[in-house]
C-alpha cells in the first residue's frame, strides 16, 4: 500500500482530480468500473506523477495507505450509493470515504450516519470549478468530522485553488452535510449571477440597441471594476464569439432553452423548507424553466406588448452605466440571500459554519469567484453575527448609491417589455427589507378573518382574534 489517496470514477472530473493530486506530488491510486479507462488515464498522463492503477475494488483498497482516503467521483444519487455498498465492506474503522460529486446534502447526512456506525468517516465535499478547476485548482468545500479533516485537509489545501493572497480555497466547512449544503448554495448563487448577467445583456441589446460585440466590450470594462469575476469574464468571451458556420453572433444561433442538472432547484426547495427568502435565486431557476417551455412560448408569442423604441445616442451610451449599477446591486442581494440560507442551514443542523470562511474559499477556483467575495469575507470577519450583508455599512452605502439607477433600469425593462425577473425580485427584496411597515399586517387580518388564525399587536403582548362574524370585538386568544 503506497498510495496516499485514491480516486474511483474516472470520468473527466475524477481523472482531472486524480491528476491534480499526482501533479502535486501525491501517489494516487486510480480505479474505474471499466478498467480500460484506468489504463487509458495512466497511459496518457502517467508522466505527470505517481499513479497506481487498480483493476478491482480490492486492489484499489489494498493500494491505499491507512487510514485510507478514497474519493468517489461518480454520478450523484444511486450510483454513489452503489459504490459505497461495494467499498464499505473492504474498509476499516478510521478510513475516510470522500464523495466529491454534487450530492444532495440530505443524502450526505444519511451516508455519513450509516458509515459512522461502522467507524468509517464519510466526507461530502463540494468541488467547484468545472473540469479545468478540478485539474488546476478547484474551490473545495469539505464537510464531515473534524478528525477526517485532519487526515484530508492538508492534501486538499495543496490541490485547491489559491486566492490572490495565497490562501488555499478550502477549509473545513462543518460536520456531515455542511460541505454539500454550501456547494448547493454556491450553485444557487451561480444560477442567480448567470441570470442577472443574462438580464443585463438582454437589456443592453433590446432597450439600448447594443450589438453582442459591443456588449462583450462593455462586460470587459465591467470586469476591470467591482464586478470583476469569472462569470463576467466568460460572458464577454461567449458574446464576442462568432459562429463559423453562419457568421452570426454565436449567441444568436444557440437554442434559447436553458437546462439544469438540479442543484439550483435544490437550493430553492431547501430555502422553502428553511423559510429563507431567496427570491433572486428562485427567479433564476424559474427563468430557466420558462425558457424551456417551447410550446407555451410559441402559443404566447402573439400576445400584446409595448411599442417602445430602443434608446439612441447619448441615452443609449449612458444606459450601460445604469445597468452596471443594477447588476451590482442585484448581485449584492443574491449573495445576501445565499448567505442567509447558509446561516439558516447552519443553525438548523448545528453546523457552526463560519460565513467569512465560506466567502474566503469561494474567492478562487469556483464558478462564482469574484473580487467581491473579499468584501463579503471582510464584512463577516469584522462582524461574525452580521444579521445580513445589507447590514454591513459598506454594502449598504454601495447599494444605496446604486438604487436610483437600479429603479430606472427595472422601470425601463418594464416599459420596454423585457423580462427582468431577477433584477426586479432583488429590488423588491431590498425594498421589503427597507420598509417601515409591510402589508403582512393585512395578511394577518385576512387570516384571522377567514380562519381565526389570530394575530399579534404592535402595542401589546399576546395573541388576539377579532369576532369577524359577530360584533367584531377583539378577544384574547
Report the first-to-last Cα separation within the chain, whole angstroms: 70
Q: How many residues bind ligand 6PG (CB under 6 A)?
A: 12
Residues 6+ apart with CB under 8 A from 239: 201, 212, 213, 215, 216, 219, 249, 250, 251
Q: Which of 59, 112, 162, 183 is catalytic?
A: 183
- Cell (9 digits) for 423: 433584477
Give the chain's length. Answer: 477
- 434 annotated as ligand-binding: no
By DSSP bridging, strand 139-142 and strand 121-128 are antiparallel
- Is 25 one of the annotated binding-site residues? no
The helix, strand and coil proportions of the chain, stated in percent and rounded to the nearest 5, come to 55, 10, 30
Using CB under 6 A, which residues numbered 97 to 156 contact ligand 6PG?
102, 128-130
Residue placing its CB nearer to ligand 6PG in the complex, 187 or 341: 187
Active site residue 86: no
328 is in an annotated binding site: no
CB 453 within 8 A of CB 440: no
SS3 126: strand
Q: What is the DSSP string of 272-291?
A: HHHT---HHHHHHHHHHHHH
Residue 253: CB atoms within 10 Å:
12
Query: Residue 182 or residue 409: which is nearer to ligand 6PG going by CB?
Result: 182
Specify whether 461 is catalytic: no
- The answer to whether 34 is annotated as binding is yes
282 contact partners, CB below 8 Å, separation of at least 6 = 268, 271, 425
Contact call for residues 126 and 186 (beta carbons, < 8 A): yes
Q: Is there a binding annotation on residue 73?
A: no
Nearer to ligand 6PG, 144 or 264 (CB): 264
Q: Is 367 in the site for ligand 6PG (CB under 6 A)?
A: yes
Q: Are strands 464-466 and 474-476 parallel, antiparallel or unpaired?
A: antiparallel
Helical residues (DSSP H) of 175-303, grouped into ranges: 178-206, 212-222, 230-240, 250-253, 263-274, 279-292, 294-300
Q: CA–CA separation, 448 vs 442, rounded Å?
A: 10
Q: Please choose, from the candidates 131, 154, 152, 132, the residue with its C-alpha nearest in 3D space to the C-alpha of residue 143.
A: 152
Q: Is 216 helix (H, G, I), strand (E, B) or coil?
A: helix
102 labelled ligand-binding: yes
Q: At its nearest, how many Å lie between ligand 6PG and the CB of residue 8?
A: 19
Shortest distance (Å) from residue 25 CB to ligand 6PG: 25
Q: Which of 203, 311, 366, 427 binds ligand 6PG (CB under 6 A)?
A: 366
- For residue 420, say whether it is annotated as part of any ligand binding site: no
440 marked ligand binding residue: no
Catalytic residue among 112, 190, 283, 324: 190
Q: Which of residues 173-192 bind ligand 6PG (CB under 6 A)?
A: 187, 190
Give the relative orientation of helices 105-116 and 78-87 as an angle to the nearest 10 degrees.
10
Query: Which CB, 160 or 323, lies closer to ligand 6PG?
Result: 160
Residue whose Cβ sits closest to ligand 6PG: 128
* Stretch 233-272: interaction string toward ligand 6PG, x if CB under 6 A: ---------------------------xx-xx--------
8-state DSSP, 141:
E
Query: Measured from the CB of residue 237, what is the shortest distance to ligand 6PG in angstroms?
Result: 16
In the complex, minimum distance from the CB of residue 334 to ligand 6PG, in angstroms, rounded to a whole number: 15
**Shortest CB 97 distance to ligand 6PG, Å:** 20
Which residues in this chain contact ligand 6PG in the complex, by CB under 6 A?
Answer: 102, 128-130, 187, 190, 260-261, 263-264, 366-367
Residue list, annotated binding site: 9-14, 32-34, 74-76, 102, 128-130, 186-187, 191, 261, 288, 447, 453
What residues form the annotated binding site for substrate? Answer: 102, 128-130, 186-187, 191, 261, 288, 447, 453
Active site residues: 183, 190
Q: Which residues are annotated as a binding site for NADP(+)?
A: 9-14, 32-34, 74-76, 102
Amino acid at each position: 500500500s503506497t498510495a496516499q489517496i485514491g480516486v474511483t470514477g474516472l470520468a473527466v472530473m475524477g481523472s482531472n482530480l486524480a491528476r491534480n493530486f499526482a501533479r502535486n506530488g501525491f501517489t494516487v491510486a486510480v480505479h474505474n468500473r471499466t478498467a480500460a479507462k484506468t489504463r487509458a488515464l495512466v497511459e496518457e498522463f502517467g508522466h505527470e506523477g505517481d499513479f497506481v492503477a487498480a483493476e478491482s475494488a480490492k486492489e484499489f483498497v489494498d493500494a491505499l495507505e491507512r487510514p485510507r482516503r478514497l474519493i468517489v467521483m461518480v454520478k450523484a444519487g444511486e450510483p454513489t450509493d452503489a459504490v459505497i455498498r461495494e467499498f464499505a465492506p473492504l474498509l476499516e474503522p478510521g478510513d475516510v470515504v470522500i464523495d466529491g460529486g454534487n450530492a444532495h446534502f440530505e443524502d450526505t447526512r444519511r451516508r455519513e450516519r450509516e458509515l459512522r456506525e461502522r467507524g468509517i468517516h464519510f466526507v461530502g465535499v463540494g468541488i467547484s470549478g468545472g473540469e479545468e478547476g478540478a485539474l488546476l485548482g478547484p474551490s473545495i468545500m469539505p464537510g464531515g468530522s473534524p478528525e477526517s479533516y485532519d487526515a484530508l485537509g492538508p492534501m486538499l489545501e495543496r490541490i485547491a485553488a489559491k486566492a490572490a493572497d495565497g490562501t488555499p480555497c478550502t477549509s473545513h466547512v462543518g460536520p456531515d452535510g455542511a460541505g454539500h449544503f454550501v456547494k448547493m448554495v454556491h450553485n444557487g448563487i451561480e444560477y442567480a449571477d448567470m441570470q442577472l448577467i443574462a438580464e443585463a445583456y438582454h437589456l443592453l441589446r433590446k432597450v439600448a440597441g447594443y450589438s453582442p460585440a459591443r456588449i462583450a466590450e462593455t462586460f470587459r470594462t465591467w470586469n476591470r471594476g467591482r464586478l470583476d469575476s469569472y462569470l463576467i469574464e466568460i460572458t464577454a468571451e461567449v458574446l464576442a464569439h462568432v459562429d463559423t458556420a453562419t457568421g452570426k453572433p454565436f449567441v444568436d444561433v444557440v437554442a434559447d432553452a436553458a437546462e439544469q442538472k438540479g442543484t439550483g432547484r435544490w437550493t430553492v426547495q431547501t430555502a422553502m423548507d428553511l423559510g429563507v427568502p431567496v427570491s433572486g435565486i428562485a427567479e433564476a431557476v424559474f427563468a430557466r424553466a420558462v425558457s424551456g417551455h417551447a410550446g407555451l412560448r410559441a402559443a404566447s408569442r402573439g400576445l400584446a406588448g409595448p411599442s417602445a423604441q430602443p434608446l439612441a445616442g447619448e441615452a443609449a451610451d449612458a444606459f450601460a452605466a445604469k445597468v452596471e449599477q443594477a447588476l451590482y446591486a442585484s448581485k449584492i442581494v443574491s449573495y445576501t440571500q445565499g448567505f442567509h440560507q447558509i446561516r439558516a442551514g447552519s443553525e438548523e443542523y448545528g453546523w457552526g459554519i463560519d460565513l467569512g470562511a465560506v466567502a474566503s474559499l469561494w474567492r478562487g477556483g469556483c464558478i462564482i469567484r469574484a473580487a467581491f467575495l473579499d468584501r463579503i469575507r471582510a464584512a463577516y470577519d469584522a462582524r461574525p453575527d452580521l444579521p445580513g450583508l445589507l447590514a454591513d455599512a459598506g454594502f449598504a452605502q454601495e447599494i444605496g448609491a446604486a438604487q436610483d439607477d437600479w429603479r430606472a433600469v427595472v422601470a425601463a425593462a418594464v416599459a420596454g417589455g423585457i423580462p427582468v425577473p431577477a433584477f426586479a425580485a432583488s429590488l423588491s427584496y431590498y425594498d421589503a427589507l427597507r420598509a417601515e411597515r409591510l402589508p403582512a399586517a393585512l395578511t394577518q387580518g385576512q387570516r384571522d378573518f377567514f380562519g381565526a388564525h389570530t394575530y399579534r399587536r404592535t402595542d401589546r403582548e399576546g395573541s388576539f382574534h377579532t369576532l369577524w362574524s359577530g360584533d367584531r370585538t377583539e378577544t384574547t386568544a
